[in-house]
Amino acid sequence: MAADRLQYIPVFPNVTATNPTMLVSELMHAPVRTLRADATIAEAVQTMADAHVSGLAVIDRGGRVVGVVTTTDVLQAQAEHDDRRARTELFERTEVRELMSTPPQTIDADVREAARQMWQAEVHRLFVVRGDDLVGVISQSDIARAVGEGLL
């Protein structure tokens, strides 16, 4: 094919001059399930199971996001404890603050930037913030779904 006959096909066909880049606020989930940093690991596991999510925003007493706790964090901690008694103590006496990842990965931009940040930070979700306010969460699955549905 001659160079003058090459046609540009955009990766995101719905993002055009007349249809601006999709913002994370258009794709995010809200409200966000949260947990206080002083909650136990057992409470975190129960909250994740009840909400059918694999990660929770951890907030301080003022409601600001200070970290994230995920099923991976819990499984890794559990694997480090050899006996049943140690695992029980992990779940009942360990506070989320001891397992959570900090700082939390946050964003308030467009979906492409969210995908780039998730890829670079090797995380599955970003918390959407405006100032100090937690307003939503966007995950890799949300972005994949939007691409699959032709939204991006």
The dihedral sign for the CA sequence 49, 51, 57, 62: negative
Question: Residue 80: inside a domain, yes or no?
Answer: yes
Question: Residue 105: inside a domain, yes or no?
Answer: yes
Instruction: Find the domain containing 48 and state its range.
Output: 18-148
Distances (CA, A) of 70 to 54, 103, 147: 6, 14, 25
Question: Residue 83: inside a domain, yes or no?
Answer: yes
Question: Exposed, middle or buried by CB within 10 Å (0-12, 13-18, 19+), for 117?
Answer: middle
Question: Residue 22: inside a domain, yes or no?
Answer: yes
Question: Residue 42: inside a domain, yes or no?
Answer: yes
DSSP state of 14: T
pLDDT along the chain (152 residues), means of 10: 44 49 86 94 95 93 91 91 86 92 86 90 90 89 87 77
Question: Residue 117: inside a domain, yes or no?
Answer: yes
For residue 109, the model assigns a pLDDT of 83
What's the structural domain count of the chain? 1
Where residue 121 sits, what CATH number does that domain have?
3.10.580.10
Question: Residue 8: inside a domain, yes or no?
Answer: no
User: Are 107 and 24 spatial neighbours (Cβ–Cβ below 8 Å)?
Assistant: yes
pTM of the model: 0.77
